[in-house]
Amino acid sequence: MTASHAENCTSNNNDTLDQIDKRILDVIQSDFPLESRPYAVIGEKCGVTEAEALARVRAMKERRLIRRMGANFQSAKLGFRSTLCAAKVPDEAMDGFVAEVNRHVGVTHNYLRNHEYNIWFTCIGPSWASVCATLAEITEKTGIPILNLPATKLFKIKVDFQMAD
């Protein structure tokens, strides 16, 4: 399990980051402390106070240099099952379909693509039966069939972007 994950926008905003911001990003990407006061630990690792570490993270979030912070779990190791899904959704049904898909807690990603199958999402559940039940419910409520693409082999790629010099 990765303790925390910070997604960085890959824009030209990197030149606006000083070395402290970059060190903070390095820590929160791959080694977020599971402590009662994580920003104190981050600050200590980066040579700043707890308050400054927290203020810098908040500022980077406000500037959209950090889009999301949250835990990533290796769901298969927790006994969960998942699948990649695709659907051909007509423009006139898009809003309703997307709302129905997003209503389900097991949907972890949902993307519009320029392809015949224009909606792609992942669905996860505590069992294969629960995943299939979720997909059946979405199809029943929307009338749109879902292409279910379970993995035959799992490749987990962890990406950290080293920021500090």
Tens digits of per-residue pLDDT, 19-64? 999 999 999 988 899 999 999 999 999 999 999 999 999 999 999 8
Q: What is the pLDDT of residue 7?
A: 39
What is the four-CA torsion angle of 151, 135, 68, 40, rounded to 10 degrees? -80
Pick the CATH number of 2-72 from 3.40.30.10, 3.90.79.10, 1.10.10.2890, 3.40.50.300: 1.10.10.2890
With a cut of 70, say whether residue 9 has pLDDT above it: no
According to CATH, the topology of domain 75-149 is: Alpha-Beta Plaits (3.30.70)
Tens of pLDDT, residues 74-122 = 788 889 999 999 999 999 999 999 999 999 999 988 999 999 999 999 9
